[in-house]
Amino acid sequence: MSVLHNRTSQQELKERLMSETERRETISFYQYFVIENPQEFRDFLYKSLESLKVFGRIYVAKEGINAQISVPESNFEKFKCFLYSIPQLNDLRLNIAIDDDGKSFWVLKIKVRDKIVADGIEDPSFSMENKGQYLKADDMNRMVHEDNTIVVDMRNHYEYEVGHFKNALEVPSDTFRDQLPMAVDMLKGKEEKNIVMYCTGGIRCEKASAYMLHHGFKNVFHLEGGIINYAKQIREENTESEFIGKNFVFDNRLGERITDDVISRCHQCGKTCDTHTNCKNDGCHLLFIQCPECAEKYDGCCSIECKETLQMPMERRIQIRKGVNKGQNIFNKSLARLRPRLDEINNIHSQIND
């Protein structure tokens, strides 16, 4: 019987990855479809993908699958054939990373979840069968300039901060489950407008488009394959990008550059910068933006306190962080940063009401 979970230490797995000489492709994909037995489907996936040396993070739920993975180049076609052999995934669009060294993941983790993207929706009448219309890159570029269109960013604030479509509205929240009702509330009275939604790889904006239609909006669209697929299309077609800056991604890279524009600032000194990092103090692990100078000054930490903690003996550091629940520790949750953002939020509402 095959082992259906990894049993090797994380450190050893990282070392194995770094010693690999073959290039890996980093790929993301998702599909909404009914899975009657998610655990059985999960185990089936694990056996097949583990044999192909696939690394990454995959979520399986009754509503479908959501995956961010890497696969050795020599196994790519085998991986594709396996995936397409599953009827519901045949000819599924694969988002291949554009700014990547293939070192994003070092282990395969497949987990069964209640939802493939947490949405907080409890209305039993909600259905993903009625969703918005797909937009390709050229359609997106055209629609963002139309007066009757409102472009809505369905990502978290830290993603929007480093890159977004020009004039896109931010729904200022830390979680997708909060954003859905907020988007409906922010766009009340605009039910006849063209509502164009986008996200990183398409999974959130596709669900958001169905949610908006469920709440009475008439003309709802979403960017097919999200920003990842948009970037690929504009490069292939050599067209100008209406997205500016960097696309935040949820792997070890923490970002793919789409244009040379740097639209955010270091959270410590205010210098122009769009490099996300996690605080090196494992008891904190805060996600924030840090320039090279501050990285050196604070030794990769978010504060003097964390830098001092990092210099303590390991036993003392473990003792300090014992019982600490970091949760979703993101810089913008700091109360010290909430007030400067009020003007941004008020500006969003004024744009909608114009």
Spell out the alpha helix ranges (H) of 197-288. 203-214, 226-237
CB atoms within 10 A of CB 11: 9
Query: Which listed residue (81, 199, 284, 302) is catalytic?
Result: 199
pLDDT of residue 96: 83
Residue 75, pLDDT > 80, answer yes
| pLDDT level of residue 95 (50, 70, 90 thresholds) | confident
Least confident of 101-110, 136-145, 163-172, 286-295: 101-110
By the 10 Å C-beta count (0-12 exposed, 13-18 middle, 19+ buried), 212 is classed as: buried
CATH of domain 10-112: 3.30.70.100
Cα–Cα distance, 49 to 177 (Å, whole number)? 30
User: Which two tokens mark 271?
Assistant: 């210098």
pLDDT of residue 174: 80
Per residue in 324-351, pLDDT tens? 554 444 455 433 343 333 344 344 444 4
The more confidently predicted of residues 310 and 30 is: 30
* Domain extent listing, the chain: 10-112, 276-339
Name the amino acid, one letter, at 347: N
As separate numbers, helices (DSSP H) first and strands (DSSP E) second, the chain gives: 13, 15
Residue burial 40-75, b: 16+ Cβ < 10 Å; e: rest: ebbbebbebbbebbbbbbbbbbbbbbbbbbbbbeeb
Cα–Cα distance, 318 to 86 (Å, whole number)? 45
Least confident of 22-31, 82-91, 150-159, 191-200: 22-31
- Would the pTM of this model clear 0.85, i.e. be above it? no
Instruction: Respond yes or no: is residue 306 known to be catalytic.
Output: no
Spell out the alpha helix ranges (H) of 262-321. 292-297, 304-310, 314-321
